[in-house]
Structure 1
Amino acid sequence: MFSTLLIAFIIVIALNCLIYIFFAAYAFSKPQLSEEKSTFPVSVIVCSKNESENLKKNIPIWLEQTYPNFELILINDASIDETLDVIEEFAAKDERIKIVDVKNNEAFWANKKYALTLGIKKAKNNYLLFTDADCQPASNFWIQEMANHFSTTKQLVLGYGAYAKRKGLLNKLIRFETMVTALQYFSFAKAGMAYMGVGRNLAYTAKLFYDNNGFMSHMYIRSGDDDLFVNEAASQTKVALCDTAESFTISEPKKTWKNYINQKKRHITTASNYKTSHKLFLSFIYIINCLFWIGTALTFTFFEWEWVFGVVFFRLLFQFIVFGKAFKKFRENGLILLLPFLEIALICFQITIFISNIFSKPKHWK
C-alpha cells in the first residue's frame, strides 16, 4: 500500500512538471514587439457604475496617452452617485470624450454587457480597447502598445491587468492569484487555446464583436463580458499577446476579504460557462496542484523524510524556475519567496469559494 502511495505521488509530481513545462513555453518567451507603430484610430471604452472618484483621478491619465488618434467612450451605467456629472464636466473640456448614459430597463437590469454594447455601438472606430474605471495605465504608451498588436489576422489582443502593491496578506494573495491567472491564460493563448481575458486590459475589433453577435449567447449571465467573450470569439481569429510593462494597467485591489470573496464568487460562476475542453484542462491543473500538497503531507507522514524530500524539492525547484520567470515578466518579483505559502493559501481559498457558491449565489457586478 505504501509503495503504491509513493508511486502515485511521483506520478502526480511528473504531471505537475509537465504542466510547468507548458507554462514555461510562455514564461520564457520574449515579448512580441512590433517594428512599426500603429496610427489607426482607437476607441477606448470604460464602463462606470458609481465611480465618480475614480473617474476624477483617471480620466486625465487616459487623456494623457501619447497615441495620436483615439476617442474615449465613457459609459455611465445607471449610477446613483455623481458619475454622470463628472463625465459631463470632462467632456465639456475635451472633444475626444463621448458620453453614453445608460438607464436601467426591465430586460437588462444592472447588466454590464448591455451597457458595454451601447458603448461599442457609440464608438466610431473599428479598434476597441477596454479598461475599468479604477484602472490606470502603467505608462503613456498603453494604447500604443496594445494597438501595435492588431493585424489583418489578429483581431483580439490580450493584455495584463495588474493590481497595486499594498501591505498585508490579502494584497499579496490578490496579486499572486492575478499573476497565476495571467500565466495560465497567456500560456493557453500562446498554444492556440485562448480561453479568457480580463476587462481591465483587453482589445478587439468592432468587426469581431458584431461577427460574434456581441454578448448575445451569454447576455443572461451577469458577468463574463471579458472572459466569456474571449472564450467564444477566440476561435474566429488569431489572438495576440501584449505583455510589455508599458502595456500594463494597474487597479486598486479589494481592501477587505468580504469584497474579494464576492468578486471571486462571480468569477468562478462565470468559469463554469467556459468550453468543456477549457474547463477540463483548468480542472486538471487545479486537481494536480491539490494532489501534490496532499501527497506531500501523506508521504512525509508514512515515509522517512529523506526519501520524500528529494522528489518534493525537485518539483518545488521546477516551479520556482518557471514561476520566477513569470513573476519577473509581470513585475511581481517580491512574491517569489512566498510562492509555496501563497499557493497553499490560494488552493484553500478557492475551495472555500466553491463551497460557498453552492449555498449562495454571487451578486451583480456592482
Structure 2
Amino acid sequence: MPDLTPGYIIFIALLLFTAVLLFYYFYFFLRLALFRPQKRNTTQQQPVSIIVCGKDEARNFARNIPGLIFQEYTSSHQILVVNDNSVDDSRFILQELNAKYGGLSILNLRQNAQHIPGKKYPLSMGIREAVHEILLLTDADCVPSTEHWLQKMQEPYADGADIVLGYGAYHKHPGLLNKLIRYETFHSALQYLSYALAGIPYMGVGRNLSYKKSLFLNNKGFSSINHLPGGDDDLFINKVANSKNTAIVIDPAAHTLSSPKTTWKEWKYQKTRHFSTSKYYKPKHKIILGLYSLSHFLFYFLVVACCIGFSGWVGLGILAGKSIIQQLIFARVMKQLNERDLRKWVLIMDLWMVLYYLLFAPMLIKKEKKTWN
C-alpha cells in the first residue's frame, strides 16, 4: 500500500471527483444528448390556454404578443394576457393589439395582493381565468421561436403527461456577456431536462412551461410558497413533478427566445433572484444538484494541486480525458438545443462556472427582495 502522502491524497480526491462528474455525464446528460422524441403518425391538438403575465411591459407586449397570435394551431386555444397593475401604456397597447389582430383575452389587475410578493398572484388569477385544462406559460419578454411552438409543446399531453418542460433560450448577440448568459442558461437546461429524463424532474422555467390547470388547483396553487418572491415556476414544479407525470420538449421549433440582459449589473441581479429559490428544493434534489456543483467546483482546483503535488502529466491527463468526454456530450446537447455556436467555448465556460458558483452561492442564505419584474 503506497504511503498516504499529501500528493497521493490529492490524486485520490481528484479521481473521486472526476468519477462523480463522469457519472453525471454518462448517467444524466447523455440521456439528453441521445434523446429522440416519439415519432407521431397522427397529430392530436388539445385545447390550450396560453398565459402571459406582465407588469409595465408595454414595449414587450407590442413586440412579442403577435408571435403568440400567429401560431399555426387550428384547435381551440386562448391567449390570456394578465396586465398586473401597470402604470405604463400596457393597457392601451393590448387594446390596440386586440383591435388589430383579435384573439386576446385581457385581464387588467388593479390591486396588489397583500403579503404575496412576486408574480404568483397575477399568474394565479390568470390560471383561474383560463378556459382550458392545458396551460402554456411564457413571459412578456419572450417570443416563440416559430409558429409551431404551441403545437409542439402540447403534443406530450396525448401520452398522458401533466407537465411539459420546454427550453427558454436567449437571442444571440455579439459579446462575452451574451455567451456567458446563454451558456449558463444551457447548463441549467442540461440539468433540469436530463434529470427529468432520468425520472427526477425538479424544476422548469416560466419562459416556456406547461401544465394542467387541475394539477395547479388540486395542489392548492402557490399557497405553500406565497411568501416567497420567486418560485412560481421552479418551486411549483419541484413540488408537483414526478417520474410519471413529466415530459420534455426540446425541438428547436418549440423554444422561446428572450432578450438577454445587456449589463453585468442587470444580469447579476436577475441571477441573484433566481438562484435564491433553489434552497427551497426538496432535499433529494438539493443533494443531487449540490454534489454535481461541488464536484464541478473542486475539480479544477484538484487538477492544479495534483500537477503541483503529485504529477503534472497525471493531472493534465485526467483533465484532458474528462474534457474530451464532456466536450462530446455537451456538444451533442448544444446541437439538440440549437446552441451550436457555444460548442467551441465549452472548456472556457466550464472554467467560468467555477467563478459563477463563487458569485452566487451566497444567495443560498441571503434574504430575497420581494419584487418580480
| TM-score, shorter chain, exceeding 0.5 | yes
Shift, 1:13, TM fit: 1.0
Matches of residues 56-135 of structure 1 in structure 2 within 5 Å? 56-68=62-74, 69-105=76-112, 107-108=114-115, 110-135=117-142
Q: How far apart are the structure 2 equivalents of 1:88 and 1:38?
A: 32
| Structure 2 partner of 1:203 | 210
Q: Which of 49, 54, 57 does residue 51 from structure 1 map onto?
A: 57
Alignment check: 8 A CA contact 1:70 1:96 kept? no
Alignment of 1:255 onto 2:262? yes
Change (3 A) 1:12 1:106: closer
Q: How far apart are the structure 1 equivalents of 2:38 and 2:262?
A: 34
| Structure 1 partner of 2:10 | 5
| Structure 2 partner of 1:37 | 43
Alignment check: 8 A CA contact 1:43 1:128 kept? yes
Matches of residues 203-222 of structure 1 in structure 2 within 5 Å? 203-222=210-229
What secondary structure, in the 3-state scheme, does the structure 2 residue paired with 1:151 have? helix
Shift, 1:212, TM fit: 1.2
Letter in 2 for 1:51: E
TM-score, normalising length: structure 2: 0.94
| Structure 2 partner of 1:277 | 284
| Structure 1 partner of 2:31 | 25
| Structure 2 partner of 1:137 | 144
Alignment check: 8 A CA contact 1:130 1:199 kept? yes
| Structure 2 partner of 1:180 | 187
Alignment check: 8 A CA contact 1:262 1:363 kept? no
The number of aligned residues is 366
Change (3 A) 1:214 1:356: closer
Change (3 A) 1:229 1:34: farther
Alignment check: 8 A CA contact 1:135 1:252 kept? yes
Q: How far apart are the structure 2 equivalents of 1:99 and 1:314?
A: 55
Shift, 1:88, TM fit: 1.7
TM-score, normalising length: structure 1: 0.95
Shift, 1:108, TM fit: 4.5
| Structure 2 partner of 1:162 | 169
| Structure 2 partner of 1:242 | 249
Q: How far apart are the structure 2 equivalents of 1:51 and 1:105?
A: 17
Letter in 2 for 1:208: L
Q: Which has the higher mean CA deviation after the structures are superposed, 105-114 or 141-150?
A: 105-114
Shift, 1:357, TM fit: 6.4
Alignment check: 8 A CA contact 2:192 2:201 kept? yes
Q: How far apart are the structure 2 equivalents of 1:192 and 1:356?
A: 28
Q: How far apart are the structure 1 equivalents of 2:38 and 2:160?
A: 15
Identity %: 35
Shift, 1:286, TM fit: 0.1
Give deviations 1:138-172, integer Å, cap 9, x for gaps.
11000000111113631110000000111111111
Task: Give the gaps of 5 or more residues in structure 1.
Answer: none
What secondary structure, in the 3-state scheme, does the structure 1 residue paired with 2:322 have? helix
Alignment check: 8 A CA contact 2:60 2:141 kept? yes
Shift, 1:128, TM fit: 0.7
Shift, 1:137, TM fit: 0.7
Change (3 A) 1:327 1:50: same
Alignment of 1:299 onto 2:342? no
Shift, 1:97, TM fit: 0.7
Alignment of 1:321 onto 2:328? yes
Give deviations 1:152-210, integer Å, cap 9, x for gaps.
63111000000011111111111101111111001111111110000000011111111
